[in-house]
Amino acid sequence: MQRDIFTGEHDAFRDMVRSFIARQITPYHEQWERDGAVSRDVWLAAGRAGLLGIDVEEKYGGGGNPDYTYYLILNEELARAGANGPGFSVHNDIIGQYLLRLASPEQCERWLPGYCSGELITAIAMSEPGAGSDLQGIAASAVRDGGHYVLNGQKTFISNGQLCDLVIVVARTDPAAGPRGLSLLVVERGMAGFDRGRNLDKVGMHAQDTSELFFSDVRVPAGNLLGDEGGGFVALMQNLPRERVAIGTTALAAAEAVFEQTLEYCKQRQAFGRPIGSFQYNRFVLAEMATELAVARAFTDRAVTKHIAGRLSNEDASMLKWWDTELCNKIVDRCVQLHGGYGYMREYPVARAFADGRAQTIFGGTTEIMKEIIGRGLGV
């Protein structure tokens, strides 16, 4: 399908990304799934290829290109390849935006070169055992003590948790201030009292390390405060739409890829002497999926265009995230059924997509939270 949001330069970049994935990711992904984490080598390779910090100034080693479409292409191609292991989107679409928006010149000098080269892998620690979508329920605390904050608390479901060298921790610096009492502290690998728990055993996405993190009297220098004290909640709200766009567009690309694979399977697989796609019921299922994906693609690309122009509302980002992630689960489930017994075998991409994609309606804000945001925007 021709998509108006792309130019020839974008197409050339897509070709480069596909080549990178074919050389640096696909041959190793099965091993990474067994290991529960990717090799740090792929992060360094991504840095050399210019896939990290595309919008970071060149003086820090970035690409100096503010065009979000390049990140969109990277995320789409990773999704199409089923390459969920490298947590590049967390690094680029989430952490990078906090650093670019909030980091001081001194912090930029310290962190951005390694961020762009892949030497510093990043994560963000929001969720806790007792606080997920409700950020106001965060219990991790940081108390100012001279030139440091003393950080205590526990985080869970942290992507890049085992590999990360820098982690932005959401902590409560003023217990009496409600949402205005949250701040962002950057904890660095090797700080005393910062420990990683187990690499969590997930249903899918086995190559992406997802961890518990523990902070026990970690003395975080005041110079590692990101943004203003008490400004954490506002910063989170400002960055969540970008995160939800990334999740939604990735989900739609994954659904399109699985549909294409399934359509080809239905043309080749024979039953009762003819291709299974030629049976009316199966043909209708394929027609329904093709239509649903086409409608979602039109809505998604329109939303991306608004995001690039700085006009995408929080409600629209929530609609995008809800619709595309739920549609992905629906499409993949139907494709498993069309594959029959083979659809349940992990050697088939559709089976891995079935397990890997299920979390998309949960992380970044559950579908129910998305509907709540949309509903409030309607004034009800």
Query: Where is the domain boundary, 104, 120, 136?
Result: 120
Quote the pLDDT of residue 179: 87
- Report if residue 16 sits inside a domain: yes
Phi, psi of 63 (to 5 degrees): -85, -15
Q: Which helix H or strand E contains 167, and what residues bound it?
A: strand 166-172
Condensed to tens digits (0 to 9), the pLDDT of residues 343-357 reads 999 999 999 999 999
Axis crossing angle, helix 40-48 with helix 105-117, rounded to the nearest 10: 110
- Report if residue 2 sits inside a domain: no
Q: Which helix H or strand E contains 216, and what residues bound it?
A: strand 210-221
Phi, psi of 39 (to 5 degrees): -75, 145
Query: Where is the domain boundary, 208, 228, 248?
Result: 228
Quote the pLDDT of residue 1: 64
Q: What is the total count of domains within the chain?
A: 3
Amino acid, single-letter form, for residue 78: L
Amino acid, single-letter form, for residue 140: A
Quote the pLDDT of residue 39: 98
Q: Are residues 362 and 312 in the same domain?
A: yes
CA distance 40 to 52: 14
- Report if residue 1 sits inside a domain: no
**Would you name the residues annotated as active-site residues?**
243
Instruction: Return the closest-CA partner of residue 207 out of 5, 27, 2.
Output: 27
Res. 259: pLDDT tops 80: yes
Res. 137: pLDDT tops 90: no
Domain at 80, CATH number: 1.10.540.10
Condensed to tens digits (0 to 9), the pLDDT of residues 197-227 reads 999 999 999 999 999 999 999 999 999 999 9
Query: Where is the domain boundary, 212, 228, 244?
Result: 228
Condensed to tens digits (0 to 9), the pLDDT of residues 19-55 reads 999 999 999 999 999 999 999 999 999 999 999 999 9
CA distance 262 to 282: 11
CA distance 327 to 183: 35
Q: Are residues 268 and 358 in the same domain?
A: yes
By three-state DSSP, how is residue 288 classified?
Answer: helix
CA distance 3 to 25: 26
Q: Are residues 278 and 312 in the same domain?
A: yes
Domain at 253, CATH number: 1.20.140.10
Q: Which two tokens stand for residue 145?
A: 């003590």
Q: CB 94: neighbour CB atoms within 10 A?
A: 24
Res. 291: pLDDT tops 70: yes
Distance from chain centroid for Cα 125: 14
Instruction: Return the closest-CA partner of residue 75 out of 8, 158, 17, 3.
Output: 17
Residue 270 lies in domain: 234-377
Domain at 171, CATH number: 2.40.110.10
